[in-house]
Amino acid sequence: MAIVRTLPSADGDRRRLALDSPVDRTSIGELEVQNSTEVSAAVARARAAQPAWAARDIGERAEILRAAVGVIVRRRAEIAATVREETGKPEAEALGVEIVPACDFLNYWCGRARKDLRTHKQKLHGYLRPFKKLFIQYQPLGVVGVITPWNAPFVLSLNPVVQALLAGNTVVFKPSEVTPRGGEWVAKVLHEAGVPEDVVQVLRGDGETGAALVASEIDKVCFTGSVVTGRKIAAACAERLLPCTLELGGKDAMIVCADADLERAAAGAVYLSMFNTGQVCMSVERIYVVESVADEFIRLVTQKAAEITYGPGDTDMGPLFWDRQMDIVTRHVDDAKQKGAQVVVGGARGDGDGLYFQPTLVVDANHDMQLMTEETFGPIAAVMRVRDEDEAIRLANECKYGLSGSVFTKDAAKARGIAARLTTGSVVHNDAAVIYGVPEAPFGGRKDSGLGHVNGTDALRGFTHAQPVLIDRWQPKRESIWYPYSEKTIQSLDGLIRYGFGNRVLRRLLS
């Protein structure tokens, strides 16, 4: 429901939005925007439901949520149909971008929950070890607010919601008004699996509803979306010392080294720039190719880009999901042409009423162009020739974003070396974007691309407070450092310093 129009309010209170298809602009429904009173009521219900949900054994919570995998499998055609109606994306992308990773995330996190969240003993160092024992236990935060985007409405809602629920929180989440029903499927699936109604609730609305959620009595915000909105959320959370995770925009660079497999690199450049119509935060938006292989690389990319089919029906590429993206994509391509870039393939809006933009290859790009410095979020492969890998690294780092990046080379050691020099949240060898689908990998951006991480070994713990509990081993009447101080106190402390830390051998034993 990518074309959103405001409608007259029926009762003077709730605002209404008209939702039109990005494929042909036909009406596909309306959306009533929930107000701040309704948001507060949902959060209050979540607050009341949270203690009982947290009191369940971790394994019981995981068993309930794991049942959602079976629900998704049974209802995959319905979920995919809803996502396709809202976005126009091809069936292969509805299944591959939304359904497959959703099942995988659910299965993985449910399998990890007991291990990651159980109370565990932490070994103490040095002189404390004989006297104390340390335990770490993970307390749920309470009510988590989740706000999710329109480019992958089902999976990008499901992943953080499931993590928060497994950790013992209740969740109130708001999908984008651009794709509301794709996000609503997350609540439907989880409720059908057995998650109580008030434990996970979905809000319907736009930015005002999201702002009301952030301002409500929640205990953490998990947001995926634009930098502009992310900054506002960060400021609001700072006022209340409210923890937040922000996964924001990207301008991911792809470096093509002189020793790259050019056939694979060219195929990757096209697909990784254009799948999901280029509307992926980890999409390849800048391609730096070493001069010695640039001609052959561009020839291969030109050939592959020209073969992409787009438009309604059974094609490789669907429309842009949101009408506002059409203006941004068009502006970036026009700016590049005016500043000397060559559009080798595509470069214009498609025919008809839908939000189609041609698969596009731009060469001779440079950093004077918006196409190489601002997030485009469209089906554009933008190529810049560079002298060598050092120049590619320098240019890749000359960006306000730092979400992810990719290095195409036959030498894995070289890829790791280049990755170490890139100021970006993650790096992928001979691929890109897939990193979000690797739940073991911490995913988060640097610079303007965000704050904190989703996924990774600490993902579930990120929705908890890690509470250390220090246990006394021997329970003496008093500690040696307690009042009253005496000469013996001074001698004991001085001896620890002189003989414990002053002796290299003992210093190692105390570490």
Longest CA–CA separation in the chain, Å: 91
CA distances from 210 to 146, 165, 460 (A): 9, 20, 23
**410: three-class secondary structure by DSSP:** coil
Q: Which amino acid appears at position 98 of this protein?
A: E
> Could you tell me which residues come within 8 angstroms of residue 398 by beta carbon, excluding any fewer than 6 positions away?
367
Closest among 468, 465, 467 to 144, alpha carbons compared: 465
CA 375/CA 248 separation, integer angstroms: 11
CA distances from 451 to 245, 247, 375, 421, 470 (A): 6, 7, 18, 20, 31
Q: How far apart are the first and last CA of the chain?
A: 59
Check: CB of residue 362 under 8 Å from CB of residue 372. no
CA 179/CA 169 separation, integer angstroms: 25
Beta bridge partners of 144: 171, 220
Kindly list the catalytic residues: 247, 281
CA 83/CA 98 separation, integer angstroms: 9
Alpha helix segments (H runs only) across 254-378: 262-274, 291-306, 323-338
CA 450/CA 401 separation, integer angstroms: 9
User: 256 φ, ψ to 5°?
Assistant: -105, 110
